[in-house]
């Protein structure tokens, strides 16, 4: 496993564009901290976002993993191009001739995906922990380390999404088209949802939609904004009451893990069936 | 003799097109093999199959004693297919380091192999800045990294200028002289004739001949003759037992031998029959003529 990871990291390490994108991604992850600096001070209206409780433990885990997941597109570009460039440079062929098996080739890519996701998760954990320790109102250990399942969901979500990118890279063989396909797919899921909602009812529609890959991934971490006490108190004042289910359910994780396995298996199958 | 590669009844179909048709041959250690065939005869497809990048339709092949998986066997093989494929953004040395990691060999060989192909000074230049000849030489260096038991070269001089072709051939000869088995696919006959001891001739995926290069030229050669009375000459030749086919053009009689005959014997014989030759040349068919006969007649 170390050998396969080492091979793939060697390819990434010497590619300038991949390096820039990966660094940008981690810088952006850090930039969540900048939210803390959002502060309005207009006469009587004083507004300091960090003081509104967004960095309170354990809410900070939910909020930060939701926001951080938005930046995954940067790594997606790296992953799609690390796959499709192997086709356009014909280095895939050379790798196989040099003695890498097709299985090892896919595994080396998959390990890299897992490593990048793991690195993001650890990074997110550290950034959130620091932000929380600075701004949170509660700093008891038991509270700090509750709701950590959001980080697990974040990790699963990234692995699933990147595996999808990997699969698209192999399927389409060109990075620009593969990324285009990703957007089109997002769009297609949106349309299917719309059609289902129109023909049945919202409940049935979302029950079916939870099985679609991108929807399953976004279901993992629900939007955190309505959970914020400040938002809820405003809602209460205008007579609304939010009653959403923010928890992460085992079946949601199972669906995404299922898709991940399927994407990797399909990538292997495609590679095996194709003549180079 | 140790066999390195055994191909038996290998077939590859691309839709309706049969690229390789029931092909069988064996490659033994220590020889230099050529696969000869016109463009599109299935050379590259055959190599692609044994190198694990093209899926076979039927038949079988085995590397070494047949107990190693293909991808493990390939770690003991050095191969270059058609075009040199490397990561354009990496330098020569970085590319070779990657190959070392894939093959699981020590990186200490890199400088030595770059020296062999004459690229040591350019090892820190990016691959994208290399000329085609340099790329091809880097590919050879990369194929040599694991001190392979067999070196497979597919059209290694394709698209190179005369100097480039010469450099590559010198490198191949040098490697062959050190005892490495070489399999060279080419449509260039003189290349195969100069370098190889054994040859497999393909046409439309069918094996037309496989064996030693000198045995392929199996005929006893032919005489080119001229004299002042051509008709008399032909008559005499037809009555001699040595000749099969006799071709007559306006200026030249070409007589193909059925059995060995020395030129002085023929000359004496003809002189005794009253024929004085003005032109006598004994020749063997070149590989090219033999190849064209083989590929056209069948």
**β-strands B243-248, B253-257 pairing:** antiparallel
Q: Report which listed range, A3-12, B238-247, B279-288, is most confident.
A: A3-12
Give the pLDDT band of residue B155 (cuts 50, 70, 90).
confident
Question: What's the pLDDT tens digit per position in B86-104?
Answer: 999 999 999 999 999 999 8
Q: What is the ipTM of this complex?
A: 0.85
For chain B, percent of residues with pLDDT exceeding 70: 98
Contact A270, A171 (CB under 8 A): yes
Supply the pLDDT for residue B1. Answer: 62
Question: What's the pLDDT tens digit per position in B239-275?
Answer: 888 887 888 887 888 888 888 888 888 888 888 888 8
- Among the partner-chain residues B75, B81, B142, the one whose CB lies closest to the CB of A93 is B81
Question: What's the pLDDT tens digit per position in B28-66?
Answer: 888 889 998 888 888 889 999 999 899 999 999 999 888
CB contact under 8 A, B71 and A96: yes
Chain A contact for B54 (CB, 8 A cutoff): yes
Supply the pLDDT for residue A243. Answer: 67
Q: Which of B50, B53, B70, B154 to mutate to test the interface with A (most CBs of A within 10 A)?
A: B53
d(CA A173, CA A177): 8
For chain A, percent of residues with pLDDT exceeding 70: 93
How close A197 comes to chain B (CA, Å)?
44
How close A177 comes to chain B (CA, Å)?
21
pLDDT greater than 60 at residue B298: no
Question: What's the pLDDT tens digit per position in A213-257?
Answer: 998 898 888 888 877 777 777 777 777 666 677 788 889 999 999
CB contact under 8 A, A100 and B71: yes
Contact A80, A168 (CB under 8 A): yes
Please report, for chain B, the start and end positions of each structural domain, with discontinuous segments joined by +: 3-216, 222-297
Partners of residue B72 in chain A, C-beta under 8 Å: 99
Mean pLDDT of B186-213: 83
Mean pLDDT of A84-89: 91
**Fold of the CATH domain B222-297:** Alpha-Beta Plaits (3.30.70)
Supply the pLDDT for residue B189. Answer: 78
Supply the pLDDT for residue B100. Answer: 93
- Among the partner-chain residues B52, B83, B104, the one whose CB lies closest to the CB of A96 is B52
For B3-216, CATH gives 3.40.50.300
Mean pLDDT of A130-156: 86
Q: Which residues of chain A from 70 to 129 reach within 8 Å of chain B, CB to CB?
A: 89-91, 93-102, 104
pLDDT greater than 90 at residue A113: yes
More confident residue, A50 or B280: B280
Chain A contact for B271 (CB, 8 A cutoff): no
More confident residue, B195 or B122: B122
Contact B63, B5 (CB under 8 A): yes
pLDDT greater than 90 at residue B224: no
Partners of residue B94 in chain A, C-beta under 8 Å: 10, 14
Chain A contact for B51 (CB, 8 A cutoff): yes
Give the structural domain span for A209. Answer: 2-273
Give the pLDDT band of residue B292 (cuts 50, 70, 90).
confident
CB contact under 8 A, A97 and B52: yes
| Among A41-55, A124-138, A171-185, B226-240, the least confident range | A41-55
Question: What's the pLDDT tens digit per position in B70-85?
Answer: 888 888 899 988 788 9
Average pLDDT of every residue of chain B: 86
Partners of residue A6 in chain B, C-beta under 8 Å: 101
**β-strands B150-154, B222-227 pairing:** unpaired
Give the pLDDT band of residue A23 (cuts 50, 70, 90).
very high
Give the pLDDT band of residue B297 (cuts 50, 70, 90).
low
Which candidate, A78, A80, A100, places its Cα nearest to that of A91?
A: A100
- Among the partner-chain residues A6, A104, A275, the one whose CB lies closest to the CB of B54 is A275
Question: What's the pLDDT tens digit per position in B127-147?
Answer: 999 998 899 899 999 999 988
pLDDT greater than 60 at residue B280: yes
CB contact under 8 A, B85 and A276: no
pLDDT greater than 70 at residue B156: yes
pLDDT greater than 90 at residue A271: yes
Give the count of domains, chain A: 1
Secondary structure string (H, E, C) spanning B83-128 = CCCCCCCCEHHHHHHHHHHHHCCCHHHHHHHHHHCCCHHHCCCEHH
Partners of residue B53 in chain A, C-beta under 8 Å: 93, 96-97, 275-276
């Amino acid at each position: 496993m170390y050998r396969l990871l080492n091979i793939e990291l060697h390819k990434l390490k010497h590619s300038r564009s991949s390096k820039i994108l990966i660094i940008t991604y981690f810088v952006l992850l850090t930039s969540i901290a900048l939210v803390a600096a959002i502060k309005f001070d207009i006469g009587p209206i004083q507004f300091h976002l960090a003081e509104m409780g967004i960095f309170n433990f354990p809410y900070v885990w939910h909020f930060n993993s939701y926001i951080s997941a938005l930046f995954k597109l940067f790594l997606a570009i790296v992953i799609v191009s690390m796959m499709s460039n192997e086709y356009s440079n014909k280095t895939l062929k050379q790798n196989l001739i040099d003695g890498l098996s097709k299985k090892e080739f896919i595994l080396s890519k998959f390990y890299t995906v897992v490593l990048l996701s793991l690195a993001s998760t650890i990074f997110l954990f550290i950034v959130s922990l620091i932000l929380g320790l600075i701004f949170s109102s509660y700093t008891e250990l038991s509270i700090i380390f509750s709701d950590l399942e959001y980080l697990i969901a974040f990790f699963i979500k990234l692995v699933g999404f990147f595996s999808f990118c990997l699969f698209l890279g192999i399927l389409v063989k060109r990075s620009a088209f593969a990324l285009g396909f990703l957007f089109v797919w997002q769009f297609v899921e949106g349309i299917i949802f719309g059609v289902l909602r129109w023909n049945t009812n919202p409940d049935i529609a979302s029950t079916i939609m939870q099985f679609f890959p991108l929807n399953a991934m976004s279901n993992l971490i629900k939007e955190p904004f309505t959970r914020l006490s400040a938002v809820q108190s405003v809602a209460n004042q205008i007579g609304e009451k939010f009653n959403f289910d923010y928890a992460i359910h085992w079946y949601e994780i199972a669906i995404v893990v299922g898709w991940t396995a399927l994407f990797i298996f399909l990538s292997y199958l495609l590679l095996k069936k194709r003549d180079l | 003799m140790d066999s390195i590669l055994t191909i038996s009844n290998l077939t590859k179909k691309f839709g309706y097109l049969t690229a390789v048709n029931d092909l069988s041959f064996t490659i033994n250690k220590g020889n230099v093999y050529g696969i000869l065939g016109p463009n599109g005869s299935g050379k590259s497809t055959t190599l692609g199959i044994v190198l694990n990048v093209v899926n076979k339709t039927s038949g079988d092949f085995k590397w070494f004693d047949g107990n190693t998986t293909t991808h493990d066997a390939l770690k003991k093989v050095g191969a270059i297919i058609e075009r040199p494929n490397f990561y354009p953004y990496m330098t020569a040395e970085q590319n070779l380091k990657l190959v070392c990691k894939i093959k699981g060999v020590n990186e200490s060989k890199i400088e030595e192999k770059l020296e062999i192909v004459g690229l040591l000074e350019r090892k820190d230049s990016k691959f994208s800045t290399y000329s085609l000849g340099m790329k091809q030489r880097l590919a050879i260096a990369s194929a040599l990294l694991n001190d392979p038991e067999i070196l497979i070269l597919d059209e290694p001089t394709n698209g190179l200028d005369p100097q480039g072709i010469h450099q590559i051939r010198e490198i191949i000869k040098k490697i062959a002289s050190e005892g490495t088995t070489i399999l060279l696919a080419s449509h260039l006959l003189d290349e195969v004739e100069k370098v190889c001891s054994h040859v497999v001739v393909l046409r439309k995926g069918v094996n037309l001949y496989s064996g030693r290069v000198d045995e392929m030229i199996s005929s006893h050669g032919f005489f080119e003759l001229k004299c002042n009375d051509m008709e008399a000459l032909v008559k005499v030749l037809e009555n001699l037992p040595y000749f099969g086919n006799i071709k007559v053009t306006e200026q030249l009689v070409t007589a193909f031998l059925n059995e060995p005959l020395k030129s002085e014997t023929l000359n004496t014989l003809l002189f005794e029959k009253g024929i004085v030759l003005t032109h006598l040349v004994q020749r063997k068919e070149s590989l090219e003529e033999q190849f064209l006969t083989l590929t056209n007649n069948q």
